[in-house]
Homo-oligomer: A and B are copies of this chain.
Amino acid sequence: MTIEEEKRRTVVTIYGQQYTIVGTEKSEHVKSVAKLVDNKMKEIKKVNPYLDTTKLAVLTSVNIVDEYIKLKEKVEQLEAEKNER
Contacts and interface: CB of A to CB of B under 8 A. Distances in A.
Interface in A34-49: 34, 36-37, 40-41, 44, 47-48
Interface in A1-40: 1-4, 14-15, 17, 19, 21, 25, 29, 32-34, 36-37, 40
**Interface size range of chain A in the complex:** 35 or more
Contacts of A51: 3
In the complex, the count of this chain's copies comes to 2
A21 B48 CA distance: 12
A35 to B, nearest CB: 9
Interface string A36-70: 11001100100110010111011111111111110
A17 to B, nearest CB: 7
